[in-house]
Structure 1
Amino acid sequence: MQEKRDLVGRRLAAHRRVLAAVLAALGTGFALLALQPRPAGGTSILIAARDLPSGTVLRHEDLRTASLPLAAVPAGALRNQPTGRVLAGPMRRGEPLTDVRLISSGLLNGYGPGTVAVPVRIADAGAVRLLHRGDRVDVLAPAPSTDELTPATRPHRARLIAAAAPVVAIPRPQGEAAGALIVLAADRAQAAALAGAGPHLSLTITKPW
């Protein structure tokens, strides 16, 4: 009887050693899993594919998608391509695109069909500070120079680019860009004239009172 008890005891002891070894191996495995870095949850958003100036009409190639950890995604980050929308301010390459970076399509509520929002950079930033949304302005540019006239004899004329155009937005200044940006509601002919005036012209405004 004693021999049977000793045999059972030895078997139990052997099983205990095997069970302890298994539990130790499992514990080591779980510890190693816990120490491994876990993949961070992320989401895809749109970022600038290159430096973009104020007033850029966005095209598909201006933006690309990037995955950011959820904690790093800024509020209002866009995930769908806003092709055709206009930037209210400049963006650096790699900067996430958010809703406040775009000129709102609601700016044109109440205007007739065919009206578009046109960003215009005005040379005199001080004049822009006199404006408010809803003001109507004339946009003027210097007349093309005549080669045969000297600066002293050349007449000082200006040509009218857009007349009585409503101001629909005055974006907050960004960086050290020259002049100041305003957004006008214009028909397509006025928009084409403003776009054709060239980025380096000195634009001035007259405000009807």
Structure 2
Amino acid sequence: MRAFRRLLGRYHRLAATAVAALAAACAVVALRPETASVTVLVAAKNLSGGVLTARDVTTAAFRPGTVPDGALRPGVPVAGKVLAGPARRGEPITDVRLLGPGLLAAHGPGTVATPVRVADSEAARLLSPGDVVNVLAASATWEGAVPARVVAEGVTVLAGLGDRSDHGALVVLATTAEQAVRLASAQAGGHLSITIGPRG
């Protein structure tokens, strides 16, 4: 019986030592700072969209598993590219936020990005990426004004370039190649305006 008690006591001491060691190891892991990180490009300030400059972006480190898919890494050139919509300071810049193949992929095959100048800058200011619009063209001849006609129906706004002047505002639309041709012809012969419809 005495030998059994000694054996049982030794077992308890070993078990207590193992538990203490495990608790210490867990504490060390919990207190150790996360050393692994992924560095990506983020907005350096609140951005309204439009053409980016090198000063508009900076880098930030994120823990693995928290980085959005398609986040751009340092070294990817972004100056001169078009941010399709507003971004908050510190927000990662992803491929689908920039005007290009990533953004167009969401609109199906055969989609092209078509810049058009809308005559009414204030109306263009109401637009946000994802809005669905009809584009109308109006022109004038020596006989007088010609009634406006729809030249592109149900097209999606990709971006507003922030380029507003006396000649209107530049907007980028997701169109088919055929619609792009009609828009170019209409723009050359008159002024373009828009009506805004429901999304989706």
Normalised-by-shorter TM-score class: 0.3 to 0.5
TM-score w.r.t. structure 2 length?
0.47
TM-score w.r.t. structure 1 length?
0.45
Name the structure where strand makes up a greater proportion of residues: 2
